[in-house]
Amino acid sequence: MNDPATHGPVPAGPAPAAGNVDYRIAHLRDRLAAEELGELGVRAEIRSGAVAVTGTVPSAQCRETLLRIVHEELAGLTVHSDIVVADTTRPDHAEEL
């Protein structure tokens, strides 16, 4: 038998994956603090209908892991990331004051 609910246009409105954005951001923050990264210096907040993730991490590997977790937790949402890798190299010259 044909089920009319499975055919036709997709209804307008937020995607089911969107869920409660504030809850999902809070869960992301908890996960970042609790897992292997321990990143408390990364911020995630709603800006103009999208989620902005900003902060500084110690290495490129941490950045990749962070972005993977962000995309897992916030799948279906528009995410803008501005994650900077800290420069931990020694200065090549003396600071002039």
Per-residue pLDDT at 52? 94
DSSP at 29: H
Q: Is 59 domain-assigned? A: yes
User: How far, in Å, CA of 54 to CA of 35, rounded?
Assistant: 18
User: How far, in Å, CA of 63 to CA of 19, rounded?
Assistant: 26
Q: Is 32 domain-assigned? A: no
pLDDT digits (tens, 9 = 90+) for 43-84: 999 988 899 999 998 889 989 999 999 999 999 899 999 999
Number of domains in the chain: 1
pLDDT digits (tens, 9 = 90+) for 13-29: 344 344 588 999 999 98
Per-residue pLDDT at 6? 37
Residue 94 has pLDDT above 90, yes or no: no
Query: Stretch 80-91: mean pLDDT, rounded?
Result: 86
> What is the span of the domain harbouring residue 64?
41-88
Per-residue pLDDT at 69? 92
Q: Is 19 domain-assigned? A: no
Q: Is 7 domain-assigned? A: no
User: How far, in Å, CA of 29 to CA of 18, rounded?
Assistant: 17
Q: Is 71 domain-assigned? A: yes
